[in-house]
Structure 1
Amino acid sequence: MESIRSDESSAPERIPYKTNGNQSRNVPVVETNSFAFQPLLVCLRFFGIELVPSSSTIESSSKSERYKTFTLGFIFLVLNGFCNVYATLMSGTGIIEEFNTMLNSSSTDGTNSTIKISTVLSWNIIIDYANFGALTVIAHATLLSLSQQSKWKSLWNNIQRMHQEFKVIRKTMRHLTIIGLVLVFSETIAIVSFAVDFFQLKPGTEGFLPTLFPHVLHLCAMVFNIYSGCGLLLFALVGWTALLGLRCLQQQAATSSSRTLTANETVTTLAKWKSLHVLLSDVVDGMNECFGPILLIWIIHIFVGFIATPYYIINSFYSSVSTGRSLLPTSVYLMIQHTFHLLIITGIPNAITQQAIAFGKQLQQIEFHDLNHFQEQVNMLATEVLIALPRITAMEYGDLELSLIPTMIGTTITYLVILCQFDV
């Protein structure tokens, strides 16, 4: 017998959902202003990122606004790249020179020899700046190009359909959006405050403004980290939407298994489950297509951070001067931040997979004693759900799941030992 997922005759016709334009009678509409992600959309629009896809029916004034927003985002992207390149080439080496100056001023051996921080620590500082810069620029470029791509438009429509089908998740997603934005802004402020601690605004021979200008570029590079945070937040919100959708499907299956359904109700229910499962699968596929570059650069960023920050912490305990110990608060904070981000990147995909398994097992528990035909169909749907489990990857370089954490920890320890050996 043909699988219920491929049997399009019993599936309900998909209804288009409009985000703008004239509303048609008897057609469900998801207004953009009431969309659960609206706080994030407004925030990114302020930074030159328009996530609402364009439409053929869009008015000329709206097209002009979209063009202005895209132009602003492109200018910010160029400024983002310039500031981060400058911070890597100039600010990183500047902090190394400042540390060397502090180290020599704290030396009390009475000799005229010049003392410098280790080469390993110097390279770690420079690589850290390059690591943060690459994350920010690539995440910014990916977000800027999203609304121009057809795959994002498809994912956007599927997300809106899910919010229409599962109305109970709207309030939860809006709360998560607001909490996520607060965390993103808090992390950005923390990074900027740590950067300010290294500044010494002393007027040089060229005057105060020439001395201040490099620090302004450095601060801008740190502020632009908000793009990487918003990119990760967008991924987390879409992933949590899929997770809650699967949870609603499991609850519906549990409710249906506890009561007797008529033949007509069974046909409608099975067709609805099939359609929603396909919709959820499309959302996961869209996440892989749209967020691949962001997820890959985030994994690389966290991996490099897991190597660099523990080395800073170890170095601060063995340092005899305040130079190394000054990195301790920042290093501890960054280590906690990297761990939190890694749990988001791996935890949400893992939770989606586990929820799909729970939904498939719930389907297996449904029994139709007098309707063998429907029993075969629901068994086929359960089998397909359990076989075709959703998987989220970083551009197909590996599945993102909790098993990635011990692998990353083991590799990190190996590289950390090598760094410490070179330092010795």
Structure 2
Amino acid sequence: MSFQWSLQPMIKWMHFIGVYLESPGKDNSSRFRLFVTAYGFILFFVNVYSNGMMAAKFLQGFENISHQTTSSVLWNAVVSQTNYILMTIGCQLSLISGAVSTWPGLIHILREMEKERYFVSKDFHHFRRIYLSGLGFLIAVILAILGIAVTIIMSTQNQTKVDTLFQICFTFLLIFVFSGGALFSCFGWMVASMLTILAERVVEQSNSNCSGCDWEKTFVRWRHLYLKISRLVDKMNECYGFLLLFLITSSFVVTINSSFIIMRDVNDEGIDYNCFIHSFFLIIQFSHFAVLAYVPHRIRESAIYLSKQLRELKIGNEARQNKVNFFILDVLNSLPQITALGLFDVNLRLAPTIVGTTLTYLVILCQLHYSAK
């Protein structure tokens, strides 16, 4: 068992969407890398071209509907379209650039961990289950969105082939958004599990009779493993900073826009099919945001759990106890934190922020909309 085996499901998926992620193993073929990179650039061109065509089509129809609705609805549509373009292009570009520049640093640390044999077979099985679960959830979300898109296409009468193509492109481009979120979430969950595994080893040491063990060697391995996990978190910030910035900010925009559309439709036309569609996308988007915010929280809580287990470790030797106490201070003073390019922390505190921001803008948009009517 190895990290190569554990990460393989998500790495294969990223290759499928044109993002070459270096493997922790030794099967990194330069020819295959060139093929995936070229394939990725083709998909990026398709992304940019499709967004350009959709933007042009949106601008063509903008003047036709500008006199039929309120300014708040128009600007909501403009912001929604702009956010979609930035989100899809930005996420794919972040994945490609991160795979080239910073992902190899993450893999290097994993190789060091594997070389030092910090983890055993059951740990690698657990890591693989994380990536399989993330991939399964990702595919389920994509299939659900695809099903909604097909339903919309089939229920719309007199729809041109161009409009049908745009609906398909809309669904396809969202793959990069949710794939980026799944990759970050799975890797972050694995890091949190590493901290939990380290804490469990401290518990085992505390419950066992350590009279015949090499305590100094064990303590040094704990400390080295924690330092490597801390380096992993730092590299995660470098690798996923831009991606998180696009994902979190777009979540705010999508939540506000979808909430306004639902509120307007319910008040103007009652609960209809369009309302259900936007409610469905709102639930998916907020669930995606909740997972992104929870993973950094879990990493931090796992580090705190480690410090609590170290605090429970009682050693008769005063010098050794002092080393443990200093280790506890190091853990508490350097709790892992995930940020979006250092602009803001990504954690569960963003949840009340997005709710409060959504309610504030929802009130403003509704006031502007109904005052104009």
* TM-score normalised by L of structure 2: 0.89
Counterpart CA distance in 1 for 2:13 and 2:286 is 25
Confirm or deny that 1:38 pairs with 2:8.
yes
1:273 aligned partner = 222
- Contact 2:3–2:24 under 8 Å retained in 1: no
CA displacement at 1:406 relative to structure 2: 0.9
Which residue is equivalent to 1:73? Answer: 40
Amino acid at match of 2:359: I
Alignment partner, residue 322 of structure 2: 376
1:170 and 2:124 correspond: yes
1:181 is the counterpart of 2:135: yes
Taking the aligned partners of 1:129 and 1:266, their CA distance within structure 2 comes to 60
Q: CA RMSD in A?
A: 2.7
* Structure 1: distance between partners of 2:274 and 2:63: 12
Q: Is 1:422 the counterpart of 2:371 in the alignment?
A: no
Larger radius of gyration: 1
Rounded to whole Å, the distance in 2 between the matches of 1:184 and 1:40 is 10
Aligned to 1:155, which of 106, 120, 123? 106
The aligned amino acid for 2:349 is S
> Following TM superposition, by how much is the alpha carbon of 1:357 offset from its aligned partner in structure 2, in angstroms?
0.9
Misfit runs of 4+, over 6 Å: none
- Contact 2:2–2:124 under 8 Å retained in 1: no
Q: Which of these residues, 349, 352, 358, is aligned with residue 406 of structure 1?
A: 352
Q: CA deviation at 1:220?
A: 1.9
Which runs of structure 2 are paired with 1:42-121 in the superposition (5 Å)? 42-52=12-22, 62-90=29-57, 116-121=68-73
Aligned mate of 1:300, from 226, 249, 260? 249
* Contact 1:50/1:70, CA 8 A, preserved across alignment: yes
Contact 2:260–2:365 (8 Å) recurs in 1: yes
Q: SS of 2:73's equivalent?
A: helix
Deviation at 1:58, TM superposition (A): 8.0
SS of equivalent residue, structure 1 residue 178: helix
In structure 2, distance between residues paired with 1:221 and 1:327: 17
- Structure 2 portions without partners, runs of 5+: none
Pair 1:355–1:31, CA change in 2 (3 A): closer
CA contact (8 A) 1:319 1:325 kept: no
1:201–1:212 contact (8 Å) kept in structure 2: no
TM-superposed deviation, 1:120: 2.2
> How much has 1:48 moved relative to structure 2?
1.7
> Partner residue of 1:354?
301
Q: Equivalent pairs: percent with the same residue?
A: 26
Out of 220, 226, 229, the residue aligned to residue 178 of structure 2 is: 229
Deviates more, 1:344-353 or 1:168-177: 168-177
Does structure 1 conserve the Cα–Cα contact (< 8 Å) formed by 2:311 and 2:325? Answer: yes
Q: Structure 1: which 5+ residue stretches go unaligned? A: 1-28, 101-113, 204-210
Q: In the alignment, which residue of structure 2 is the partner of 1:336?
A: 283
SS of match in other structure, 1:148: helix
- Give CA-to-partner distance per residue, 1:66-120, whole Å, 9 cap, x none: 11210110111011111123223315865996xx7xxxxxxxxxxxxx9823332
Per the TM alignment, residue 185 of structure 1 is displaced from its structure 2 partner at its CA by 2.5
Cα deviation 1:339-388 (Å, max 9, x = unaligned): 2112111111111111111111211221221x221111111111111111
Q: How many residues align?
A: 365
Q: Is the 8 A contact 2:50 2:169 kept in 1?
A: yes
Local SS of the residue matching 1:224: helix
Paired residue type of 1:138 = G
Change (3 A) 1:423 1:93: farther
Change (3 A) 1:58 1:193: closer
Q: Counterpart amino acid of 2:208?
A: R
Q: Look up the match of 1:12.
A: none
Partner of 1:238: 187
CA drift at 1:299: 0.7
SS in 2 for 1:37: helix
Higher relative contact order (CA 8 A, sep 6+): 2
Secondary structure (helix, strand or coil) at the match of 2:6 reads coil
Matched, 1:125 2:77: yes
Look up the equivalent residue of 2:103 and give its one-letter code: W
1:14 counterpart residue number: none
Post-superposition Cα deviations, 1:116-154, rounded to whole Å, max 9, x if no partner, equal 2333223323422332232121111122223321x3212
**Larger fraction in helix:** 2
Contact 2:251–2:289 at 8 Å: present in 1 too? yes
Q: What's 2:165 paired with?
A: 216
| Aligned residue number for residue 8 of structure 1 | none
Q: CA deviation at 1:42?
A: 1.4
- 1:17 match: none
Amino acid at match of 1:233: A
Question: Displacement, 1:218?
Answer: 4.0
